[in-house]
Amino acid sequence: MSHRGCVETDTRQRVLESATRLFAERGYRDTTVHEICEQAGANIAAVNYYFGGKEKLYGAVWRHAYSLTRESRDTVLDPDGECPPEQQIDHFVRTRLEDVSSAGPASYFWRILEKEHHDPTPAHDAIIHEVFLPLGQRLERLIARMLDGRGSPRQWRLCLFSLVGTMGFLTAHRGIIRRVFGHDVLDAADCHLLHEHLVRFFLGGIAATRRALSRPAPPRAMAPGEAPAAPEPPTAQGDR
């Protein structure tokens, strides 16, 4: 690569890293192109030159931020793999919590996402479809495997919501939780306790669901005003 090519690559990377830090700290709307370029030591025209504008830069930023997470690198959810689903769930929860509670670049994506929840940008749908839709599909298949295929996709999804809904709430409302309870539930020092609790609670729920699905279905309850079914007529008996 020529010297000019190296310089351009370096400048683009500095702009990307500067924007990632600032968007994680302040969000999309409260971060200016001037601030990004100033912190990157780049000309203010660099955002347009390398990325085509602030909105496209933001798209590059959240994808870059997700690539910095342990979840994107280390979590392999394979519903058809040899690794037991329980171990895969344990690893998924641990890496997600470690990312969210990190003070470094691994937390940037989750801080960006927290701001997206409260003030969505045009990138919101892309984040859902590129990150969370495929993740949710793999988790749902893992849950179906843990339930031995019993139940319906709707029931598997309810189990999925019990896990990702709790984790999503902790991520999206971390500041509110801190103000209400006076304690950061995602503090790095307590993260292992939360990890153990979430996994134990979720796997306990899966076990209870599996038992419930193994029992015979109860008789259908009658709707209000519904008449009971007529008794079966007696069977005719032959002459004795």
Instruction: Give 108-119 pLDDT, tens digit per residue.
Output: 999 999 899 889
Three-state DSSP state, 219? coil
pLDDT of residue 7: 54
Q: What is the pLDDT of residues 96-154, one digit of tens each?
A: 999 988 889 999 999 999 899 889 999 999 999 999 999 999 999 999 999 999 999 99
Place of tokens 């990325």: 51
pLDDT of residue 217: 67
Q: How is residue 217 annotated by DSSP?
A: P
CB of 18 within 8 A of CB of 40?
Answer: yes
Q: How far apart are CA 160 and CA 52, in angstroms?
A: 38
Tell me the two tokens of residue 59: 């798209």
Distance separating the N- and C-terminal Cα atoms of the chain: 105
Q: How far apart are CA 63 and CA 104, in angstroms?
A: 16
User: How many DSSP H helices and E strands does the chain contain?
Assistant: 12, 0
CB of 123 within 8 A of CB of 116?
Answer: yes
CATH code assigned to 8-63: 1.10.10.60
| Amino acid, single-letter form, for residue 237 | Q
Tell me the two tokens of residue 153: 């996709």
pLDDT of residue 213: 93
- Yes or no: domain 68-213 corresponds to CATH 1.10.600: no
Residue spans per domain, the chain: 8-63, 68-213
What are the two backbone dihedrals, phi and then psi, of residue 153, each rounded to the nearest 5 degrees?
-55, -35
CB of 115 within 8 A of CB of 28?
Answer: yes
Q: How far apart are CA 66 and CA 64, in angstroms?
A: 5
Q: What is the pLDDT of the chain when averaged over all its residues?
A: 89
Q: How far apart are CA 103 and CA 35, in angstroms?
A: 22
Q: Is pLDDT of 4 > 60?
A: no
DSSP codes joined into one string, 55-124: HHHHHHHHHHHHHTSHHHHH----TTSSS-HHHHHHHHHHHHHHHHH-SSGGGHHHHHHHHHHHS--TTH
Q: How far apart are CA 80 and CA 142, in angstroms?
A: 8
pLDDT of residue 48: 98
Q: How far apart are CA 223 and CA 139, in angstroms?
A: 36
Q: What is the pLDDT of residues 42-85, one digit of tens each?
A: 999 999 999 999 999 999 999 999 999 998 887 778 999 999 99
